[in-house]
Amino acid sequence: MKFLKSRFAYPLAAFCLVISTFLQVIWLFQIFNAQQIKLKEDLDMGMGNAAKHAIYASLIEETNPLSKYKEFFLSPEWLNLKLALDNAGAKGLTKIFSYDVSEDSAMISLTLQFNHKLQIKDKKNNPDNFPITPKMQSYAAYSLKYMNHAVDSMLYSFHIYSLHYYRIYHYSNNLLVSSTYPSKADKLSYYSGLYSYNLQHLRKYQLLVPSLAGAVLYRMRFYLISSSLMILLTSATFYFILKLLKSQLLYANARIAFTSNMTHELKTPVATVALALESIVKYKLTDEPVKLNDYLEISQHELQRLNLMIDKVLNLDQTEHGELPLIEELYDVQTGIDQVISSLQLQLRQNGSDVSFEASEIPCFVNGDPVHLTNVFYNLIENALKYGGRGVKLFVRCKCVQDRIIISFKDNGPGIALIYQKRIFERFFRVQNNENIHNVKGTGLGLYYVQQIVLKHNGTISLKSDLNKGSDFIINLPAAT
């Protein structure tokens, strides 16, 4: 199971994330195509409305125009009729449009004339073969200007800000008259139908737009935002799940290592005491008081260490559940450190180590639990002796700085690598040479317990360490007032 987790968890998460992103991209692509089709339909409708309003605007200059006559050219009925007339086409067909406005009436005439004999027309200037007056040319220029303005407004309302072009065609035979579209321009995303834009119907107008991508993406903005949030949330979810799984796996491995190491830690003092008692009986050391006293001191020390480990585990469980009571009283920090150093003299002699204590001239008192604070000092000094190696030197200093008490435990041991320093106070964590293999057996609970007790006393603990240059644990506690 561990093999499956470690080998396939990350690839499986990455695969799911890629598939999720791929599906989101396909969904967005389909929406893009649908929105592009919808935008083209809206542009066709907008072009029809622009042509309708261009015709209406051309009537403003008419003399005494009738309101109903003008309003008719804004109606959907006229738009349908005009589109039908514009799109009508056959060989020999001539479309004739005329209107006349008087003071009391207006007449509109739409004529479809089929010629049996094709007439020769001026295909360049007047393919419709009727006279073009200066007034008609003036109306045509005015209507084109208005049509361009209406088209610009319409495109702006659709959030199309890119370059666009137009072409002008003859009304009858759709021959190209003029164009603003470059001959070597890019492929067009949209081109409209042909729309007449004045009552003389001399010309037709066509809109050309090279790109609709910007406008389509703007219409899709909420889809894009939701899709991006979905991908982001999915990625964040996978990240936190994988991080949680990794933490759980490390925690499980740490518990296994803790069980193995704790078994060793508990068996060692028991075996030592058993061996000491066996030696006393076997060699009849009751007749040799000096040796007997040494063996009894060793047994006493090992039993004290065993009792401390049991208390450490019990206190840790209470700390985790917030049930660890603190019996606070006025506590002399320097006296507590002296007592701990004295209790470790036998271990110091056996290890060839040395502990020097620089006490403050000013008494250092805190409001704290004497038992737990003493355990804190014991843990830090014992760790320095245990992990520092034979002959390690430990320098303990206590000083009062305003309303704070600073206690430093500095050794010349192997130090702690930077990558481990942020995790050194975690439960069950131990600096590893190889996975679950340690040079010195331990529980991984000592520094976690130390930090929890210091925090409960409203203090802080920090570490300064360089590899192969020793470690310095610094405790900062509030002084008693």
Domains of the chain listed by start with CATH number: 2-114+123-218 (no CATH), 235-478 (3.30.565.10)
* Average pLDDT, integer, range 10-23: 87
User: pTM of this prediction?
Assistant: 0.54
Longest dimension (CA), the chain: 150
Question: 120-124, 143-147, 363-367: which range is least confident on average?
Answer: 120-124
Question: 38-47, 155-164, 430-439: which range is least confident on average?
Answer: 430-439
pLDDT in the model for residue 321: 60
Instruction: Report residue 437's pLDDT band, with 50, 70 and 90 as the boundaries.
Output: very low
Highest mean pLDDT among 67-71, 94-98, 226-230: 226-230
pLDDT at 238 over 70: yes
pLDDT at 343 over 70: yes
203: CB partners within 8 A, 6+ apart: 140, 144, 168, 169, 170, 171, 177, 196, 197
CA atoms within 13 A on the CB side of 422: 2
CB 427, CB 438: distance < 8 Å? no
Instruction: Report residue 434's pLDDT band, with 50, 70 and 90 as the boundaries.
Output: very low
Q: Coil, strand, or helix at residue 167?
A: strand
User: Tens of pLDDT along 213-223?
Assistant: 999 999 999 99
pLDDT at 64 over 60: no
391 is written with which tokens?
Answer: 């002959």
433 is written with which tokens?
Answer: 């040479």
Q: Which residue has the higher pLDDT, 392 or 261?
A: 392
* Average pLDDT, integer, range 421-432: 80
pLDDT in the model for residue 8: 75
